[in-house]
Amino acid sequence: MKQIFRKAATSLLLILAVALGARLAFAWNQTSKIPAEVLGVVPFQTETGHIAYSLATGKGFASPFQRDTGPTAWLTPVYPLLVAGIFKIFGVYTRASFFAAVFLNIFFSTAVCVPVFCAGKRVAGTGIASATAWLWALFPNAIMMPFEWIWDTSLSALLAAAILWATLELSESRRLRDWCGYGFLWGVTLMTNPALISVFPVLLAWLIYRGRRERSLHFTRPAFTAVLAIMCCLPWTVRNFVVFHRFIPLRSNLGFELYIGNNENYDERRRAIPGNITQDREILRYLRMGEMAFMDEEKRKALQFMASHPRVELELFAKRFVDFWMGTAEPLKMFLETDSRLIRGLLLGNFLSSLGALFGVTVLFLKRSEYAFPLATFPVVFPILYYVTHTSLRYRHPIDPVALLLTAIAAAAMLRKLQRHRTAADITNGIAKA
C-alpha cells in the first residue's frame, strides 16, 4: 500500500488530472451563477479584450478602451493575438469565445505543473517536485485566475515556471542550441509579460558566473541568448517606432501605471484639489489627449508627486509590499470581516506561500545550495516594479509557482527538523528507561 500511495503521490499525470479537474470544476461552478449574456461580453471589457476586438475586426492592434482611438502599444501582442484568434473562430464577444478563452487559460495553468515538477526535481529531488506540483494543482489563486481574468496571467505563470526550469537545466549545458532556445523562450515571454524582464539580466548573469567559475562557458553562448531575445522583440519595437515615432521597446503605459499608484489622492493635505483621481477619469483624459501625450503627462505628474512626497512614498511602498504578497493592503481586517470562504482561502494561501517563499530562500542559502540565487531572484527582484507603481492580486501570479516551490522546500526542512527532534527525544527516553 505504501508503494501504491508513493507512486500515486509522485505521478505527474495524476497531478495534472487533479489540477485540470479543480480548475474546470471552479469554472463550471462560477459559470452557473452568471447569466449567459453577461459571460459573452463583460469578461472581455478590458484592454486585452478591446485590442483583440480591434484585431478581429480588421482595425489592427489598436483601441485599448473600446473607442476607436487608433494604434496602441498599451500591451505586448502575444495574448491579445490569442484572444483575437478565439474571436475569429468562435465569434466576437460571444459565450463560446469566453469558454474557449477560459479553457485556454486553464490549459496554461494546468501545464505549469510540468516545469515546476522538473525544476523541483533538479533542486531537491522527486519528493519536493511532487509536493510543489500538488501545491500548484490545489493553490486557490491558480484555480481561480484562469476563470476570473481573460488576461495573460496564467500564460505568464507558465512562462515564468518554464524559465526557471530552463535556467536550472542550462546551468549545466554548453550546447549552443540550448542557449538559443533559452533566448527564444525569453523573447516569447517578454512579448507576453514585459514585467518579467527584471529577472532576465539577473538570471543570465548567474548563468555566466556559474559557467565562468567552472571555466567551461564561452561568452558567445549567453550573447546568443541575449541577441535572440532582443530579435524576438525587435519587430514589435520597430512597429512602435514607425507608428509613434519614438523608441518603445515593449509597452507604452508605464507612466499611467506609475501615476495610478502615485498621485494626489495619497496626499492628506489635498483639500484644494477637486475630485478623486480615478482610473476611469484618467482613461477619459487618454481618449482626449492620445496615447503618447497622455503617457508623457502621467509620467511627469507621477515623478513630481514622488519627489515632493518622500514620506508618503515610503508609506505607499510598505502598503504595496503587503498588497503584492497578500492581495490586499489590510489582509487581517479583510480576513476577519469577510464571510466569503473563497476570499479567506485566497488570503490564507497568499500568507502561507509568502511565508514559505521567505523560509525557502533562507533554507537554500543556509544549505549553500547552488540553486539558491536563481530561485531567490523571482520573489526578490520581480515585485520591485509593483512596489513602485501599484499592485493587484493577479500581478504576483507569474511568480506563484516559484513561491510554492520554495514553500515545499521550507516545509520539507521543517519536517526533517521535527523528525530529528523526535528521534533525539526517543533516544533520550530509551536511555532514561534503560
φ, ψ of residue 354 in degrees (nearest 5)? -65, -45
Q: Show the cell assigned to 407.
A: 514553500
Reported as a pLDDT band with limits 50, 70 and 90, residue 369 is: very high
User: What is the model's pLDDT at position 127?
Assistant: 93
DSSP line for 362-409: HHHHHTT-TTHHHHHHHHHHTTHHHHHS---GGGGGGGHHHHHHHHHH
* pLDDT at 284 (0 to 100): 86
DSSP β-bridge partners for residue 71: 62
The grid coordinates listed for 150 are 481573460
C-alpha 152, offset from chain centre: 9
CA angle 147, 120, 366 (to 5 degrees): 120
Q: Measured between alpha carbons, how far apart are the two ends of the chain, in Å?
A: 35
Percent of the chain past pLDDT 90, that is, above it, reads 78
Query: Which residue do the cell numbers 462560477 mark?
Result: 30
- Please give the Cα distance from 151 to 154 (Å, whole number): 8
pLDDT averaged over every residue in the chain: 91
Which residue type occupies 428?
Answer: T
- Hey, what's the cell of 200? 532576465
| Angle at 397 (CA atoms; ends 394, 400), nearest 5 degrees | 150
User: Position 193: which residue type?
Assistant: N
The answer to whether the predicted template modeling score (pTM) of the entire model surpasses 0.95 is no
What is the per-residue pLDDT for 274?
52
329 is written with which cell numbers? 493592503
Whole-angstrom Cα distance, residue 261 to residue 319?
11
Radius of gyration in angstroms for the set of CA atoms belonging to the chain, rounded to a whole number: 24
Instruction: Please compute the mean of the pLDDT values over residues 146-158 and round it to a whole number.
Output: 96
Nearest to 168 by CA among 212, 130, 115: 115
Q: How confident is the model at residue 137 (pLDDT cuts 50, 70, 90)?
A: very high
The answer, yes or no, to whether residue 65 has pLDDT greater than 80, is yes
Tens digit of each residue's pLDDT (9 = 90 or more) over 170-226: 988 888 899 999 999 999 999 999 999 999 999 999 999 888 776 666 778 889 999
- Domain residue ranges of the chain, discontinuous segments joined by +: 2-433
Q: Reply yes or no on whether the pLDDT at 273 is more than 60.
A: no
pLDDT, residue 285, reads 87
Of 179-183, 284-288, 328-332, give the lowest mean pLDDT range: 284-288
pLDDT of 36: 86
